[in-house]
Amino acid sequence: MSLDEFRHEMDDFWNQVDREFVEKKESHGAVMELMKLYRRFDAEEQAMARQVITEWLRSPDPRKQFDALAIVDEFVIVDALPTLRELQAEAEKRTDHEAQYDWARLNRIAGRLASASENH
């Protein structure tokens, strides 16, 4: 399967589970399903999933971005570190009321990933 096909399947899966759990008013249901899916992937699929999830960090959909951050954090996806650093820099420049919280969360996750990459 190509990366584009895999990306499409991941997007379809996320859209389906997100819609399902939004309707149930279970905000963390989609991310839990994504984590289950990621655990079932073989090494090649996980490599593609890491790339897709890193792309999701820049999603215009805040729920998709939240889920991507949770997965990056849970599975210590070090490949996402450059994107997290870019998002941190952007959060530093923002003036909205959520910017400081976004920056703190990004900083915590980026610190964990940086520490993990140094230990490998």
Model confidence over 13-59: pLDDT tens digits?
Answer: 999 999 998 888 887 888 999 999 999 999 999 999 999 999 999 99
Distance CA(100)–CA(120), nearest Å, equals 30
Instruction: Sketch the domain layout of the chain as residue ranges.
Output: 3-118
- pTM for this model (two decimals): 0.91
Give the span between the Cα atoms of 63 and 10, in whole angstroms. 15
Structure-block tokens of residue 112:
């964990």
